[in-house]
Structure 1
């Protein structure tokens, strides 16, 4: 496939519990050109999560210093914790022609769009709010009060899908991944992404 030289910045977000992490991992297993941008967070690690692989786990003081030094593409406070995207890794990956996917909250996606509007913004939807609640409960990592907080936030976040380029329902992981692959392929073939490349091909020395 003829494609542009620069990589794509792909932003995947949606309510907590919708399966963003699961979909990202499945996508990266079958598409080696997609790199994962590891986010920084102040929330404690869940069972099985590894620092520097799943997240960069930071104290609130460490995170605030990253903000002061402008080391983050975006950051947001969500349910009493901070989340953010380290900037330099994103820039380096795109420059090398590799796609990079950011798995971030809706607040963070809005900030990225302000700074990088040419990114590809995908909203991952649950089949229903009832299904979303069941997924959060099944994780077994949140208290009853926190689950209610997440559900209240989720309803507000779903209303923000109007700010995204695409909406993908995560009814089944493999199906959701195929939909995202189709989006990425189409984005690489957009005329405005390929014009400079073809102009170079037809230049007469």
Structure 2
């Protein structure tokens, strides 16, 4: 039976992520929430979530002793970044600002106040919080069975700005930006699939079934 490690570096309540993966695994995978680098190193697949401020998340990752094993896992097995865990995969974030892991080229940018106006001239709130449509940019095995325009749940004040062509799905608030990115064995998403009803569970199930090839 495959082993899926959910990395707990002390940032965010990861109970809902763990329970969602246990639900979709349906006994086909052993899902473990862990702070132990050895457990992460031995896992077949790794999930890297996170909530909170980027500087705090990066500091906790360093202090936990998990940074090296997370970087290694991102290179050699199916790897799924969620929310701030996904943001940490880029080179830097405007929040702080903070240097991060550099797995992907590019940065994480704050929603610029001068652009946060809807089509009726009304000011949009930051953080961006709620259900948003997802627009497919390119096919990926993890998005199989999820229709274009499906809605997922977001809570964030910053978004991906990759410099490479790695976007899989985009959303808009109010302008378009990458909501999910992927390269080789890595898939990373800004929203919360564990809170996104059946579409989110389908995405997690696809990861359980994924062999790490795009």
Fold-level similarity (TM above 0.5): no
Instruction: Sort the TM-score into its range (normalised by shorter chain).
Output: 0.3 to 0.5
Q: Which has the higher strand share?
A: 2
- CA radius of gyration, larger in: 1
Scaled by the length of structure 2, the TM-score of the pair is 0.35
TM-score normalised over the length of structure 1: 0.36
Higher RCO (CA 8 Å, separation ≥ 6 residues): 1
